[in-house]
Amino acid sequence: MLGFFDSGLGGLTILKEVEKIMPEYSYVYLGDNARAPYGPHGEEMIYNFTKEGVAELFGRGTELVVLACNTSSAVALKKIQQEFLPKEFPDKRVLGIIIPTAEEIGNTSSAEEIGVLGTEATINSKVYEKEIEKHFPELKIHGQSCPLLVPIIEAGETEWEGLESATKKYLVELFKKSEKVDSIILGCTHYGIIEDLIAKNIPANVKIISQGKIIAEKLKNYLSRHPEIDGKIEKNGKRIFLTTENSDRISKLAGLFLGKAVNFEKTRLD
């Protein structure tokens, strides 16, 4: 099976797009909702939380785990790949979502200045600046942390006027850094659920770059290039959804992210 891990439910926006082009694969999704959001935490705590989630997914029979979380990808991915996997799961793979996004920026946008909306941890890591510069050094990147958005979304307050007020505030701060920004990367998978709200509060000529389709195509390409991994993955259309905080709120929100009803099984990470 293919595993998807996120601090909460935002990663479902990635899984939704992957399902569209690879429906035959079996998937396990794990949202660490009880400890979301990850953004305000320190690097070591984010690493430990992510490591626990990855281990749980491997224990459920996955061959490859996608960190469908920008914060985990920014802070924990490299250490997991270089230290954790070689010791504990040498035959398994973990992929992130920031590098694939950075690689595609030049193909999805003609912008010269790009804004990135993300959690505090993602923006403070400057990982988008570093990775985009490797491929497109001419681009200027302006990061904007949005610490209130994930807690509001995870609380299920997607219709609350306070969400729009917070979103407007962060967008104003972004454009204060540069009025020339003409593309915005949604550098947190939770933001996919408020893409229309973001679009409503930016100039019409500014393009929004969402990660779902990019990651789906990149994952399909990765598996085609690694038949030794692809051959181990079940392809019977099985779906398993796990959460560390099962509740009616989680199920309702998951339906908004994924576009269909979802039944979750509660699990514990430690």
User: What CA dihedral angle connects 253, 243, 42 and 63, to 10 degrees?
Assistant: -120
Residuewise pLDDT in 10s, the chain (270 residues): 999 999 999 999 999 999 999 999 999 999 999 999 999 999 999 999 999 999 999 999 999 999 999 999 999 999 999 999 999 999 999 999 999 999 988 776 677 899 999 999 999 999 999 999 998 999 999 999 999 999 999 888 888 899 999 999 999 999 999 999 999 999 999 999 999 999 999 999 999 999 999 999 999 999 999 999 999 999 999 999 999 997 778 888 898 889 888 889 999 997
- Do 106 and 197 belong to one domain? yes
- Please state, in angstroms and rounded to a whole number, the distance separating the CA atoms of residues 16 and 1: 16
- Do 58 and 183 belong to one domain? no
Q: Which of 57, 174, 188, 209 is catalytic?
A: 188
Based on DSSP, count helices (H) and strands (E) in the chain, helices before strands: 14, 10
- Do 75 and 57 belong to one domain? yes
- Do 30 and 90 belong to one domain? yes
- Please state, in angstroms and rounded to a whole number, the distance separating the CA atoms of residues 232 and 108: 32
Residues 174 and 164: beta-carbon distance below 8 Å: no
CATH classification of the domain holding 169: 3.40.50.1860
Task: Supply the pLDDT for residue 109.
Answer: 67
- Do 202 and 237 belong to one domain? no
- Do 118 and 205 belong to one domain? yes
Task: Supply the pLDDT for residue 104.
Answer: 87
At 66, list the tokens: 């996608």
User: Is 188 tagged catalytic?
Assistant: yes
User: Is 146 tagged catalytic?
Assistant: no
Please name every residue paired with 240 in a beta bridge, in sequence order, or none if there are none.
28
pTM above 0.85, yes or no: yes
Q: Which domain covers residue 45, as residue numbers?
A: 2-97+213-266
- Do 70 and 105 belong to one domain? no
Q: Which of 36, 69, 123, 216 is catalytic?
A: 69
- Do 53 and 136 belong to one domain? no
At 226, list the tokens: 């690694």
Task: Supply the pLDDT for residue 206.
Answer: 94
- Do 108 and 206 belong to one domain? yes
- Backbone angles phi and psi of 45, in degrees to 5: -65, -40
The one-letter code for the residue type at 239 is R
- Do 86 and 187 belong to one domain? no
